[in-house]
Amino acid sequence: MPVATPPADRSSRTLRAVMLAFVAGAVLVTGCSSSMRQPTDYGEVNAEGTGFYGNFMYGCTGVQPVDGKYKNPELNSESYCKCLFEGLKDKVPFDEVRDFEEKQAAADEGNEPEVPKGIEAVRRDCAKEKQPA
């Protein structure tokens, strides 16, 4: 199956989907109770599709894992989403991503906040990796 590459003109929509994945991860990890702590880091990567990573991948690909693989993605490819997660985890402090997500969630459509350079660099690098040679 060929790897889908998000076109450059869809980068803001793709990034928005990724940030929604981040929100889903944060909400599902903490649950609905206000007594539970908000996540303070990206957490463990696991094949079961649970925890923050699983919620991020579900929000980014649009599908739940089958046998540890995100098959037939509806939004972005599994490899692209893994690249985003790993890139954010390795290069962008969790607090920066969380703060950006909060600003984006509060913004009106068409008036989104500027994407921090570190987050945009990860998205751009992952998009480059998926382009055919």
Residue 1 included in any domain = no
pLDDT number for residue 103: 86
Measure Cα distances from 112 to 102, 103, 118, 124 in Å.
11, 8, 17, 18
Q: Give the domain extent around 88.
A: 8-129
Q: At what angle do helices 78-91 and 117-129 cross, to 10 degrees?
A: 140
Number of domains in the chain: 1
Per-residue pLDDT 10s for the chain (133 aa) are 344 444 444 455 556 566 656 555 544 444 444 444 555 678 777 667 666 788 788 888 989 888 888 889 888 999 999 999 999 999 999 889 888 878 887 888 888 888 899 999 999 999 987 655 4
CB 4 within 8 A of CB 62: no
Its pTM surpasses 0.75 = no
Residue 27 included in any domain = yes
Residue 3 included in any domain = no
Q: Which of 48, 24, 34, 130 is nearest to 87 (CA)?
A: 130
Residue 2 included in any domain = no
